[in-house]
């Protein structure tokens, strides 16, 4: 332990030692080792999630907050850059996070660069990047299904919007762009089959593409009338149960689409989240409807969680919800209702042995409920993100 | 791929083609309009400063009632973003230093004074970072991204030198018929 | 006026026209001209100021807010980029704003570029840039005196800190860097003489440099014991009255330095802001001391305004103040005390015929007082900047 | 210019030369320490989310009392910035993804448990944008920028790959003598 002549160094008044306290603690606290940067476990605990901070006040400086949902005192484990309407993917098997981002040479102007940045899950340091050509990446409020894996996670698909619509195919292993698939009139990317994807189209159809081993379109196929966009529009972000995407409509109808094969197959028997009891999801009083940004989630057992608001009306679908309704899509029945502590915007369920329902609220607070009982467990406060909008369970 | 071309053709035919002399409506006619804006009224609450109260502004015209600095103003029925009226622009002009997006998402809002339904163009102002004032989100007529011309979640700073989003205007570009022609 | 078949376009329910109202207003509101971007007057009104928003939550996205201090309903006239601990200068005679900024190729990482950006005061559009070499620009919480004019405004001086200290000399007309002056142990830039500058040094001296017509150091000179940094440290940002820089110390002593000649000349007769009445600036109860970030300002008549806090103690000097004391530096007397509506961090006085005292508060609110009477005139609310920290009167 | 060199020499001689094996203190000995941090407690209030309350953390050591997530914690007597304890780091470690600045501003704070004055190194964590949590500014012993080693307004993300500031730690690097040696 070194002592330093302080007044020469700092020119500040040096406090007097309190000798009584010094006797109580005869040895000073030890010097601490510098530099010192925290490292994360190689495999993240299952209570950890990534929360996307859109950061409205500076959209160009979006972030991913890595959050331990079981830690009320130290929930924030670190930040990953997610610049300018970014999107993210996580590959725990490779220990990598991928962000699709947009940059300008002079912050707001100058040369535009779109790129996928590869981050190490243990250090949160960048490992490399893949430049995306032509500055056409789709920029919008965070939709998970504009940046998706395919080909067993070896490739990524990036949605483009100029406003012409297309999908860029990227080989994450070789770190290069393979090609681009035009997709006029269709939007969002739902990986389908072994190597391909499906998209929802403006005429209500679903369109499926298979890719060859060079990333070019090998075949395509369309199934008509999957949704009625005027009367029963589906939120664009589904909850996945295996290879089935469960979508919910603005009015609470649940529609499954089987994505296991090369052609997306809508499942028969759409049903309402109010099925099985008297509370109406649409047309009743109060007018319960899904509301928020990420309004549907699944758990490991295949149950669905839908964020619901009693203030349903035209245009209410992004206003957030005050309850989560738990639905069994096999029985087509609602199992329970979970009252939230605030106005939720995004929900997700962890894959822990005792799964937790994570709720990102409009006021920036993140709350945690027991997914099985619905009981409120803890709040993380507004301590991880300015504008939490999407929750990713790795 | 021939299949894709055919599909695009089918799409184009399925949507009314506009006759406007303006590129933004011509583009809308082709069924490709989107928007640049941001989400969610509740988020706006979290992002707006508690001391951001400001005196009321008005258009000065009885036929255009309400406060263009308030999210409740009639033209904002489908807006999503920072109100340019609070950012150095007006209800229909961008702040200095920005560039107005040439293409845009279109909403329809009822003017409480004359009872007419107006077509409102929500153009984004681009090239300067987030204005940060008067975040407002309303979603009357908003549909999922699958219908770009009816979705206000796209960043519509397209066709501009920079895609950086600053704020949004709400300009009158026509009146709406109750029934299609 | 064109009418559009709406349901086909938007698929949304079209509201019914209320025919009674239509009779009251037989003509619809006119179509509005697009695109439409507001343009500013060629010469800004004297009520307009630039307020630097450090933007703590995203420091890399700092901004200048152009503010009309006489407009309570539309105070914000526009924003100018001021990226990453930027600094700014305004040249109304040339109609230009200059920002000294720092960028990274990938927002937070990659290639660093330091540059002066030239902005048009009428359009707030960039007109050009001058690259600053070697990525050594001093980054700190906004101090106006690290980016200053010299040579009649034709040149700019940029402080560097790596932590080695130096000053880069830039020709704004020719848009090129002329040279670099090493400045070990000295900091801040106070333009002195016709073509030169002075700096404050860590031994309490002031050091003056004259530049030749190529921007190289021609001569230098040092005056010792200008300040006692231990006992009476001066805030680094002075108020200018003509070519005299008026500094105030942590304890309220006012020290003038004449910068009109090639060698900075400390003026004799430092005096306390409490001079002339019983209220003590230091040592009294309450303990009034200057507090805030930009704590001293001048008006056109040469009076000084000092932001004061009654909670003075070691370390209170950045906590902000609740009064402004008006001081005549010629009479060395305090003329009045102005009570603020909140905790001020930065003050400035406009050069209007009826000058206004502008107060940027810690809570982001900007208040306006009549400078002559001290009377509160209006508040602009927290409507122009997240973290207003420096006010520039062009 | 010869005059400048002489001046630097005079400066160096006027300041105590440290004997630490650590570069940060060696550098301090040369009279050139600065800091990376941010200003003003009151600004912190404006920037901190009203719902950001969090449970108390402790060091677990009676000799190191207080809450490292609170601005009142004893080691923070001269800090200026976001507290790394709230950002994924700890009181003396940076969050993952950042790089710790090798040189730093040094303060001296009294530990209320043992009454000793400790030398605290306020290292910045760099390369990730503003953490945004627990902004804290205290200025005991802070002097103007003219004395870099005693001023906490510099961005001390120097000597790091990126100068982007994320948060600040407060590490014990020694105890202070009451009088110079």
Contact C107/A60, CB-based, under 8 Å?
yes
Please list the active-site residues of B: 105, 124
Judge contact between C220 and D1, C-beta under 8 A: yes
Please report the pLDDT score of residue C283 as a whole number. 56
Same domain, C258 and C285: no
Judge contact between A155 and A172, C-beta under 8 A: yes
Cβ contacts (< 8 Å) between C127 and chain B: which residues? none
The whole-number average pLDDT for the span A131-145 is: 98
Judge contact between A54 and A141, C-beta under 8 A: yes
Q: Using the 8-state DSSP alphabet, how is residue C287 labeled? A: B
Active site residue D27: no
Domain boundary at C240, C268, C296, which?
C268
Give the minimum alpha-carbon distance from A298 to chain D in angstroms, rounded to a whole number: 28
Identify the residue among A38, A40, A72 best suited for mutation to test binding to D, counting D beta carbons within 10 A and taking the highest.
A38
The whole-number average pLDDT for the span C39-54 is: 97
Which chains would you list as touching B if contact means 3+ CB atom pairs under 8 Å?
A, C
- Which CATH number fits the domain that encloses residue A278? 2.130.10.10
pLDDT tens-digit readout, A247-267: 999 999 999 999 999 999 999
**Count of A-C CB contacts under 8 Å:** 67
Whether the predicted pLDDT of A239 surpasses 70: yes
Edge-first strand listing for the sheet containing A147-150: A147-150, A155-161, A165-171, A176-182
Residue C148 lies in a domain: yes
Q: What Cα–Cα distance (Å) separates residue C361 from each residue in A12, C303, C390? A: 29, 22, 11
Query: What is the band of C286 on the pLDDT scale with cuts at 50, 70, 90?
Result: confident
Give the minimum alpha-carbon distance from B115 to chain A in angstroms, rounded to a whole number: 19
Among the ranges given (A95-109, A175-189, C3-17), the one the predictor scored with the smallest mean pLDDT: C3-17
Domain boundary at A268, A294, A328, which?
A268
Same domain, C303 and C260: no
The whole-number average pLDDT for the span D105-110 is: 94
Contact D178/A14, CB-based, under 8 Å?
yes
**Using CB atoms, which residue from C81, C107, C386 is nearest to A83?**
C107
| Structure-block tokens of residue C40 | 């500013």
Query: What is the band of C21 on the pLDDT scale with cuts at 50, 70, 90?
Result: confident
Give the minimum alpha-carbon distance from D95 to chain C in angstroms, rounded to a whole number: 15
Whether the predicted pLDDT of D29 surpasses 90: no
The whole-number average pLDDT for the span D50-64 is: 85
What are the φ and ψ backbone dihedral angles of A185, each rounded to 5 degrees?
85, 0
Average pLDDT, chain C: 93
Residue A210 lies in a domain: yes
**Using CB atoms, which residue from D1, D129, D155 is nearest to C139?**
D155
**Count of B-C CB contacts under 8 Å:** 220
Query: What is the band of D42 on the pLDDT scale with cuts at 50, 70, 90?
Result: very low
Among the ranges given (A132-141, B28-37, C119-128, C358-367), the one the predictor scored with the smallest mean pLDDT: B28-37
Task: Give per-10-residue mean pLDDT for chain B (181 aa).
Answer: 34 27 28 28 43 83 96 97 98 98 92 96 97 96 93 96 98 78 33
Cβ contacts (< 8 Å) between A72 and chain D: which residues? 54-55
* Nearest residue to A370 (alpha-carbon basis) of A388, A352, A385, A383: A352
Percent of chain A with pLDDT over 70: 92
Cβ contacts (< 8 Å) between A61 and chain D: which residues? 129-130
Residues in chain B, total: 181
Whether the predicted pLDDT of D1 surpasses 50: no
Q: What Cα–Cα distance (Å) separates residue C297 from each residue in B86, C294, C327? A: 29, 8, 10
Identify the residue among A86, A101, A107, A130 best suited for mutation to test binding to C, counting C beta carbons within 10 A and taking the highest.
A107
Identify the residue among A61, A124, A383 best suited for mutation to test binding to C, counting C beta carbons within 10 A and taking the highest.
A61
Same domain, C114 and C229: yes
Residue C379 lies in a domain: yes
Average pLDDT, chain A: 93
Q: How many domains does chain C have?
A: 2
* Nearest residue to C242 (alpha-carbon basis) of C223, C225, C261: C261
Alpha-carbon distance A238 to A240, whole Å?
6
R_g of chain B, CA atoms, integer Å: 17
Contact A57/C229, CB-based, under 8 Å?
no
The whole-number average pLDDT for the span C182-207 is: 97
Please report the pLDDT score of residue D141 as a whole number. 94
- Chain C neighbours among D 139-158 (CB < 8 Å)? 139-148, 153-155, 157-158
Whether the predicted pLDDT of A224 surpasses 80: yes
Residue A165 lies in a domain: yes
Identify the residue among A5, A10, A367 best suited for mutation to test binding to D, counting D beta carbons within 10 A and taking the highest.
A10
Contact status of C317 with chain D (Cβ, < 8 Å) = yes
* CB-based contacts of A284, cutoff 8 Å, min separation 6: A274
Alpha-carbon distance C222 to C203, whole Å?
11
Cβ contacts (< 8 Å) between A235 and chain B: which residues? 144
Judge contact between D126 and C211, C-beta under 8 A: no
* Nearest residue to B120 (alpha-carbon basis) of B140, B105, B134, B135: B105
Same domain, C151 and C181: yes
- Chain A neighbours among D 51-110 (CB < 8 Å)? 51-57, 61, 63-64, 69, 85-90, 92-102, 106-108, 110
- Chain D neighbours among A 334-393 (CB < 8 Å)? 363-365, 380-384, 386
Q: Searching chain C, which residue's CA lies closest to the CA of residue B24?
A: C34
pLDDT tens-digit readout, A52-111: 999 999 999 999 999 999 999 999 999 999 999 999 999 999 999 999 999 999 999 999
Contact D176/A4, CB-based, under 8 Å?
yes
Question: 3-class SS at A141?
Answer: coil
C112, β-bridge pairs? C104
Question: 3-class SS at C379?
Answer: strand
Whether the predicted pLDDT of D55 surpasses 90: no
**Using CB atoms, which residue from A56, A314, A318 is nearest to B47?**
A56
Does A35 sit behind a cis peptide bond, omega within 30 degrees of 0 on the bond before it?
yes
Judge contact between A329 and A360, C-beta under 8 A: no
Residue A57 lies in a domain: no
Alpha-carbon distance C179 to A137, whole Å?
42
ipTM, two decimals, is 0.91
Q: How open is the CA angle B84-C61-C385, to the nearest 5 degrees?
A: 50
| Structure-block tokens of residue A234 | 């589906």
Structure pTM? 0.90
The whole-number average pLDDT for the span A175-192 is: 98
Among the ranges given (A362-376, C187-201, D53-67), the one the predictor scored with the smallest mean pLDDT: D53-67
Same domain, A280 and A151: no
Please report the pLDDT score of residue A128 as a whole number. 97
Kindly name the residue from D64, D80, D124, D153 that is annotated as catalytic. Answer: D124
pLDDT tens-digit readout, A205-222: 999 999 999 999 999 999
Same domain, C226 and C332: no
Residue C77 lies in a domain: no
Give the minimum alpha-carbon distance from A81 to chain D in angstroms, rounded to a whole number: 7
Please report the pLDDT score of residue D116 as a whole number. 96
Same domain, C379 and C319: yes
Q: Searching chain D, which residue's CA lies closest to the CA of residue A125?
A: D97
What are the φ and ψ backbone dihedral angles of C385, each rounded to 5 degrees?
-160, 145
Same domain, A189 and A309: no
Does B8 sit behind a cis peptide bond, omega within 30 degrees of 0 on the bond before it?
no
Judge contact between B54 and B86, C-beta under 8 A: yes
Please report the pLDDT score of residue C326 as a whole number. 98
Query: What is the band of C191 on the pLDDT scale with cuts at 50, 70, 90?
Result: very high
Q: Searching chain B, which residue's CA lies closest to the CA of residue A205?
A: B146
| Structure-block tokens of residue C304 | 């000084």
Judge contact between A21 and A74, C-beta under 8 A: no
- Chain B neighbours among C 165-224 (CB < 8 Å)? none
Please report the pLDDT score of residue A286 as a whole number. 73
pLDDT tens-digit readout, A335-349: 999 999 999 999 999
Neighbours of B102 (CB within 10 A): 16
Same domain, C102 and C244: yes
Alpha-carbon distance B12 to A69, whole Å?
47
CA atoms within 13 A on the CB side of A132: 28
Q: What Cα–Cα distance (Å) separates residue A328 from each residue in A273, A298, A310, A332? A: 9, 10, 21, 6
Burial of C143 (0-12, 13-18, 19+ CB in 10 A): buried
**Using CB atoms, which residue from A107, A139, A184 is nearest to B163?**
A139
Same domain, A209 and A118: yes
| Structure-block tokens of residue D96 | 């993952």
Cβ contacts (< 8 Å) between B34 and chain C: which residues? none
**Using CB atoms, which residue from C112, C315, C320 is nearest to D142?**
C315
Place of tokens 């997700």: A348
Please report the pLDDT score of residue A174 as a whole number. 97
Domain boundary at A268, A284, A299, which?
A268
Cβ contacts (< 8 Å) between D181 and chain A: which residues? 3, 5
Same domain, A153 and A286: no
Residue C44 lies in a domain: no
Q: Whole domain around residue A157: which residue ranges?
A: 86-139+144-268
Please report the pLDDT score of residue B54 as a whole number. 84
Residue C80 lies in a domain: no
Same domain, C131 and C254: yes
The 3-class secondary structure across D116-181, one letter per residue, is CEEEEEECEEECCCCCCCCEEECCCCCCCCCCHHHCCCECCCCCCCCCCEEEECCEEEEEEECCCC
* Nearest residue to A107 (alpha-carbon basis) of A127, A83, A138: A83
More confident residue, D49 or A262: A262
Please report the pLDDT score of residue D50 as a whole number. 58
């Amino acid at each position: 332990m070194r002592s330093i002549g302080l007044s020469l160094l700092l020119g500040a008044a040096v406090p007097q030692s309190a000798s009584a306290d010094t006797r109580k603690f005869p040895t000073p606290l030890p010097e601490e080792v510098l530099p010192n940067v925290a490292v994360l476990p190689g495999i993240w605990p299952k209570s950890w999630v990534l929360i996307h901070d859109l950061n409205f006040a500076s959209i160009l400086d979006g972030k991913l907050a890595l959050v331990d949902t079981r830690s009320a005192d130290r929930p924030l484990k670190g930040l990953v850059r997610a610049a300018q309407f970014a999107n993210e993917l996580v590959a725990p098997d490779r220990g990598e996070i991928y962000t699709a981002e947009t940059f300008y040479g002079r912050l707001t102007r100058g040369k535009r660069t779109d790129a996928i940045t590869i981050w190490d899950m243990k250090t949160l340091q960048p490992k490399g990047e893949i430049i995306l050509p032509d500055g056409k990446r789709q920029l919008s409020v965070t939709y998970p299904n504009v940046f998706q894996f395919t080909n067993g996670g070896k490739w990524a698909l990036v949605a483009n919007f100029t406003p012409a619509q297309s999908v860029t195919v990227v080989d994450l292993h070789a770190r290069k762009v393979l090609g681009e698939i035009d997709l006029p009139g269709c939007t969002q990317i739902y990986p389908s089959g072994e190597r391909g994807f499906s998209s929802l189209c403006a005429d209500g159809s679903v369109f499926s593409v298979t890719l060859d081993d060079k990333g070019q379109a090998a075949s395509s196929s369309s199934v008509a009338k999957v949704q009625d966009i005027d009367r029963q529009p589906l939120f664009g972000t589904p909850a996945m149960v295996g290879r089935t995407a469960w979508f919910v409509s603005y009015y609470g109808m649940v529609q499954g689409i089987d994505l296991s094969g090369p052609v997306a197959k809508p499942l028969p028997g759409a049903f309402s989240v109010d099925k099985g009891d008297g509370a109406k999801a649409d047309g009743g009083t109060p007018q319960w409807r899904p509301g928020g940004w990420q309004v549907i989630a699944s758990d490991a057992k295949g149950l669905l969680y839908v964020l619901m608001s009693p203030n349903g009306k035209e245009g209410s679908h992004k206003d957030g919800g005050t309850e989560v309704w738990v639905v069994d899509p096999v029985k087509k029945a609602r199992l329970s209702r979970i009252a939230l502590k605030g106005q939720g915007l995004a929900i997700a369920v962890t894959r822990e042995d005792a799964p937790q329902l994570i709720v990102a609220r409009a006021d920036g607070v993140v709350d945690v409920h027991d997914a099985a009982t619905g009981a409120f467990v803890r709040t993380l406060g507004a301590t991880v993100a300015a504008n939490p909008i999407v929750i990713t369970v790795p | 791929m021939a299949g894709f071309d055919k599909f695009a053709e089918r799409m184009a035919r399925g949507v009314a083609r506009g006759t406007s002399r303006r590129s933004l409506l011509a583009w809308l006619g082709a069924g490709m309009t989107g928007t640049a804006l941001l989400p969610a009224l509740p988020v706006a609450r979290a992002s707006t400063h508690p001391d951001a109260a400001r005196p009321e502004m008005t258009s000065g015209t009885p036929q255009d009632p309400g406060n263009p600095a308030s999210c409740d103003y009639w033209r904002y029925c489908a807006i999503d973003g920072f109100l340019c009226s609070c950012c150095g622009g007006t209800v229909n002009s961008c702040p200095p230093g920005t560039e107005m997006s040439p293409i845009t998402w279109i909403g329809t809002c009822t003017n409480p004074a004359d009872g007419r339904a107006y077509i409102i163009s929500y153009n984004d102002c681009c090239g300067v970072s987030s204005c940060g004032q008067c975040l407002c989100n309303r979603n009357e007529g908003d549909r999922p991204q699958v219908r770009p011309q009816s979705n206000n979640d796209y960043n519509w700073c397209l066709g501009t030198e920079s895609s950086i989003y600053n704020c949004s205007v709400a300009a009158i570009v026509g009146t709406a018929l109750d029934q299609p022609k």
